[in-house]
Amino acid sequence: MGVNARAYSELSDDEVFEQVKCGEVAAFEEIYRRYKQRIFAYCWRIVQDRWLAEDVFQQTFLSVFEHRDQYTGGNFAAWIYTIARNWAFKARARQQRIQGHEVQEPEEGIDAIAPDTSLSPEAAADYAIVLEHIARLPVEYREALELRYLDELPYKDIAQILGISESLAKVRVFRAKKMLQKILAVRDSE
């Protein structure tokens, strides 16, 4: 305890989270600052609904908080993403039950709600096309690809989040890229 806020920014996730366990509010602020945008975007990508994403986001941080003593170190990013993923899938399953139909097409992708205004029109259009095609990939490949390129997570983390081996995570990302390449090639040739 007693680490000041500036020093937290120089510590690893595990080191900061140890302070969260001791009840250090400043440490929590640091963890929250590091992950809030990534986790929110991740939740949104899974549930495809802004309101639901807000619920899942809050629930994720609450769970992290509630179960902070159960984190024994090693890979904080994978841990928090796993929690977010589990809540998001639960939320989505519940939503499908409420809506009365199983297949839910993406209605409001995060790019549609929060486009990056700093992009040139061409870059923004390219970005939208790539994201649109990624969203159409089979879920197991899409998830792996998004975790790799949108969340910029290492394969070790992706494997842990998806509950698969690191090699399989690499293969899934590779297959996703092959599928995406084919789709984009067809589109470019049209």
Find the binding residues for another protein in span 144-173 (CB under 8 A).
145, 149-150, 155, 160-163, 167-168, 170-171, 173
Pick out residues in 96-155 that bind another protein (CB under 8 A): 97-101, 104-105, 107-108, 110-111, 114-119, 123, 126-127, 130-131, 139-140, 145, 149-150, 155
Please, what is the minimum distance in Å from the beta carbon of residue 25 to another protein?
5
By CB under 8 A, tell whether 91 contacts another protein. Answer: yes
Give the residue with the Cβ less far from another protein, 10 or 98: 98
Binding mask 48-87 for another protein (x = CB under 8 A): -x-x--xx-xxx-xxx-xxx--xx-------x--xx-xxx
Pick out residues in 11-30 that bind another protein (CB under 8 A): 20, 23, 25, 28-29
Record the tokens describing residue 184, joined without a space.
Answer: 């984009």
Give the residue with the Cβ less far from another protein, 12 or 114: 114
Please, what is the minimum distance in Å from the beta carbon of residue 6 to another protein?
18
